[in-house]
Each structure stands twice: as C-alpha cells, then as structure tokens.
Structure 1
Amino acid sequence: METFIVSIPYSHTEKSSRVNRLGVTDVIVKLTADNGLVGWGESCSGADVKSVEQAVLSAKPYVIGKDPWQLDAIYNDYMKKGLWDFRPMTAQFAFVGIDQALWDLCGKEAGQPVYKFFGGAMRVSVNYFYYLSHSSVEEMERQCRDGLDKGYSVFYLKTGIDRKTEDELLSVILGRDYAEISYVM
C-alpha cells in the first residue's frame, strides 16, 4: 500500500455554503497485489489531508495479505478492530480510496470493468458538469455562457449561501418562475 498526496488547482474558485477554495488536495491510494496487479483509489481529504493519509495507512494490517474480493470483511475489520467506528468521518474519507483500489484490483483480476459488478452500464456516455462558483447573478451568468461556449450542457451549483440570489439566478437562467424550479440545499 502506497499513498500520494496530490493537489489539483481549479480554473476558478469553488465557492459554496461549505467551501471557498482554489483547488482540491486528496490522497491517492495504490494497492499492489502479490500477483502484480495494481489497484488505484482516491480518498477525499476532509478537514486535514495528513490525518486522512494516516487513516489510510493504518488500514495496512486489514488490507495487506487479504483477499481483495473480501471487501466487506476488510471494511468491518478496519472499522471495528481498528477502532475507526469511534471516528467515522475520518474513517469514511480514508476508506473510500481503499475501497476503490480493492474494486479496481478485483476488476483487473476478473478482466472486467468494475461497473459490470454493479449491474452494468446505464448509459453509453455521461455529460460532465461545469462547476459554477457562487457569486453575483451577473458573474454566474458569465460563467454559464463560458460553459456553454466550451460545450457543457450540465451545470453544478452548490446552494445555501444566499437563497434570494440563488432563486434570482435560477429564474434568469431558466427563464421561469422559481415556483417551477426545485433543488436540494
């Protein structure tokens, strides 16, 4: 098991009711099996990337030498024997990368893409989203035009900062009254 802390800058500030940042820093997890296959995963950083990296590394006794197909047993051992059930948020941030890497190993061993283990593909392609940074209505309209110019058809905005401005923005962009618009905060 190896970990790598990676920082990726954004093209513009991510601003929402929860964050205000210029990029993301996460932990990349690399698991190398005894048969030479390599599985990769990404653990989100939470409040402190170093603590998440240490939580990943603390999983070594529950992962190394174990059958990657026994994902639930590995997870349960990590949570209970590793006492992470007392710190579930950090544990979840850390284990998600381990889980992804284990699934990646299983897929490679089976010679199948992992999505087949979860019921198969639901679509041929997926539109990626253009992330809107919360700001004035005029600035968010500019961001939408930029996204459209770049070929995006899906836009993502984390709400919860200023409901009045968010309602106005949605009304302007969608060209209808807010009563017809629903979104989750």
Structure 2
Amino acid sequence: MCFSTGCQYPVEMKNYYTSMNDLLIEKIELFKVPPRWLFLKITTKNGLVGWGEPVVEGKASTVEACVRELSKFVIGRSANDIEDIWQTLYAGGFYRGGPILMSALSGIDQALWDLKGKYLNVPVYELLGGPVRKKMKMYCWIGGDDPEVVLEQAREKVSQGYKAVKMNATGAFAWIDSLEKTKTVANNIKRLREEFGDALDIGLDFHGRIHKGMVKRLIDEVAPYRPMFIEEPVLSSNNEALDHIYPYTSIPIATGERMFSRWDFKELLHKGTVDIIQPDLSHAGGISEVRRIASMAEAYDVALAPHCPLGPVALASCLHVDFTSINAVIQESSLGIHYNQGFDLLDYMENPEIFDLKDGYIELWDKPGLGVVLNEEKLKEGASLGHDWNNPIWRSEDGSFAEW
C-alpha cells in the first residue's frame, strides 16, 4: 500500500473514496420522545440515515442543546470520518468530558457507525473487528425499592426466558442507618434464592444510595445469598472508598454508569478495585470510546457489562461492542422497565425481532449498521408529546436529602 501523494490508487479504490463524498452529512434532527429518551437522526447527501441516542435521563433538553451546538462541527463532514469527528467534538473545546458533552457526543458517534455500516452493507461489529461470540447473555431490572413486587416481576422475567435479573438493594438510606432497616435489605434477594435457588443470577444495585459507613454492614447481610455482583456500592465520585470495600468481600464489584470516558476509568482500573465496569453507550462517548474502555479493562483482567436503561439504538450499540469484546459478560436491557409504560423499547421499532430472547441470550444478527429499523412515524408521534422526565427527589425521615 502506497501512502505518498504520488501514488496511483487502483480504479476500485478511487471509486470507493470518490463515492464516500455521498456520505457528506447534510442534516441532524432530534426527537425527544416518551418515556425519557432523545433520538438523533443524521442524513447524508445520498439520503442515507443513521440513528443515535444522545441523552442524560432527566437532562434531555440540555443534551439536545449541546447536540445543536456541536452540529456545526459535524454538518458538511463525511460520515466516514468517525474517529476524527470524535476527536474534534471531544478535544476541540477547551472544556472536556462530563455527562452532557459526552452524551451528545455518544449519540452522534452511534449514528456515524450506523451510517458507515449501512453504506458498506455490514453490521457495525464487523467494522470493529468481527464477533468473538454468537450470542450475548441478558439481564433486566425487577425493582427492589418495593419488596412486594420483586417476586412477581422475577417470575415474569424468568417466564420470558431470562436467566439473570437485577434489583435495587434498598430505598432511601441514611448516612448511618438503623440496624432494623439494615436487616431488611437482604429480604428481597433471600426471597429470590428461596424461589429460584442458584438457577437465577441476581445482580444487586446499591445505586450509589449507600454511604461508605454502611456498605460493609450491608455486604454482611446480602453475602449469604450470593449476588452475581454488587453495583455502585458507593457513588463514582467516592471511588476511593473501594480501596476499603473491595478487599472486604468476594462478591464481584461493578461500577461505571456515571463515568464518561477512558480517563475516568483509568485510575480505577489501575488500582484494581473493580471487577466489572459498566460504561453507558449513550453517556461514555458512544461505540468508539466504550470499545476503547473495554480494551483497557481487558488489559486489567476486568469484565464489561454495559449500562443500558435506555432505548433500542442504545441497546443495539451496546450489543455491537459486546459482540466484539472478549471481556463482555452480560448486557442490561430496559425491556418492560417501569419507566417505559406506554412507550416501551420495542414500540419505536419496525424490526423488534432482533432483540428476541432465546434461553437468556440475544443472538448475533446480520443486519447492516446497528441493525435497528426505527418507525419514524411513531417517533414523530412521540415527539409531539415530548417528555419532561426527572428522577424523584427523596428525603430521609428527618427531612434531609437522600440519594435516589
């Protein structure tokens, strides 16, 4: 291969690079739709369309504004230039990172990969090096804040074919809470173990609700019921607490949904105080960045389980990274989650069958791009309704703010 300016490319290569001009980006559109999602549509000169999901739950309008600000660096570019566009959007401004910028960038990045795969008529996972597995193990959320619904929802998910679920460990929790309240934390997972034995994998999400002083005591309570992992035992802003928590338990520690780039994960991986990282494909720089984060984690012998309580484009993006990452172990899905009532993940799709669950797994598909065909009429209907979703604000018994 010749790289000098005097090189003469074969005719086929000339045609390839000339035709890439058809991928000049002409338009970016946004659809803010129920239940709490934001979809992005990029259209190229030749009419090809790519889709992304740039959103922060509870800050959709803020991310929407950020996408509009970034669009001047995208429109007029070739959709083929994924990495250069990523670097420009990330490093082109003096201030970098954080949930808003990285989520806007994530949606644009997803759409560019979708476009390139469609243009070359191959799935995105082929562009990432090809699959390392034929199917991906899945889990979904079953509550946990309200103990009355845990068994009911778990039975429903098992009947649908899931072999793994995740639930919140607690509701609102004080910085140092009562012994009585601590003792109740294990009841939910105990019920599931009594019902399903060890046949069901159960992730336990502390959701950053627990402060450092209570984590080890709660681990003592839940350890006999063998959780698949403990997620966000403390907020990611307090990751230094993992130095003390990690050696205390043999239960795998998972975290990362509120970390937004490889630089956020760097120190955590270097310290060795995490077993499973959970970057979100709509928050952590999209397919490009999460694929890099996954490779970093592999070098530290750390597993990958992307966070995804979002829509179909985000889930498809996760699965393409999963299919090509040897350390990917399980994938979250928001199918049927309580946020989605009336507008579930499959409702905006024309080909929901790609997410069919078979014996606890989603199988590799061969559709070009991300593989998701969205129903644009349904999106327009949803956008006419819009949303203003926010997470609840919780208070402790004394009236002080409590983490949700």
TM-score w.r.t. structure 2 length?
0.38
Moved more, 139-148 or 92-101: 139-148
The alignment of Structure 1 onto Structure 2 pairs a total of residues equal to 168
2:90 corresponds, among 73, 76, 79, to: 79
Per-residue deviation, 1:160: 5.6
Per-residue deviation, 1:102: 0.4
Equivalent position amino acid for 1:91 in 2: L
Q: Distance in 1 between matches of 2:92 and 2:170?
A: 38
Per-residue deviation, 1:26: 1.8
Residue in 2 that maps onto 1:113: 123
Residue in 2 that maps onto 1:20: none
Residue in 1 that maps onto 2:165: 155
Residue in 2 that maps onto 1:183: 230
- Contact 1:41–1:97 (8 Å) recurs in 2: yes
1:96 corresponds, among 81, 106, 120, to: 106
Equivalent position amino acid for 2:80 in 1: W
* Root mean square deviation of aligned Cα: 2.5
Identify, as 1 or 2, the structure richer in strand.
1
SS in structure 2 opposite 1:98?
helix
Residue in 2 that maps onto 1:5: 32
Residue in 2 that maps onto 1:12: none
Q: Distance in 2 between matches of 1:81 and 1:92?
A: 13
SS in structure 2 opposite 1:146?
helix
- Contact 2:138–2:162 (8 Å) recurs in 1: yes
Q: Distance in 2 between matches of 1:110 and 1:164?
A: 56
Q: Distance in 2 between matches of 1:109 and 1:72?
A: 17
In structure 1, runs of 5+ residues without a counterpart are 9-24
- Contact 1:136–1:165 (8 Å) recurs in 2: no
Return the index of the structure with the highest Cα Rg. Answer: 2
- Contact 1:26–1:44 (8 Å) recurs in 2: yes
Moved more, 124-133 or 97-106: 124-133
Question: Is 1:42 the equivalent of 2:43?
Answer: no
- Contact 1:46–1:93 (8 Å) recurs in 2: no
Question: Is 1:172 the equivalent of 2:182?
Answer: no
TM-score w.r.t. structure 1 length?
0.77
Q: Tell me the alpha carbon deviations over residues 7-31 of structure 1, each in whole angstroms, 9 at most, x when there is no partner.
A: 13xxxxxxxxxxxxxxxx1211100
SS in structure 2 opposite 1:109?
helix
- Contact 2:56–2:99 (8 Å) recurs in 1: no
In structure 2, relative to structure 1, the CA distance for the partners of 1:137 and 1:118 (3 Å cut) is same
Identity of aligned residues (%): 27
SS in structure 1 opposite 2:119?
helix
- Contact 2:145–2:169 (8 Å) recurs in 1: no
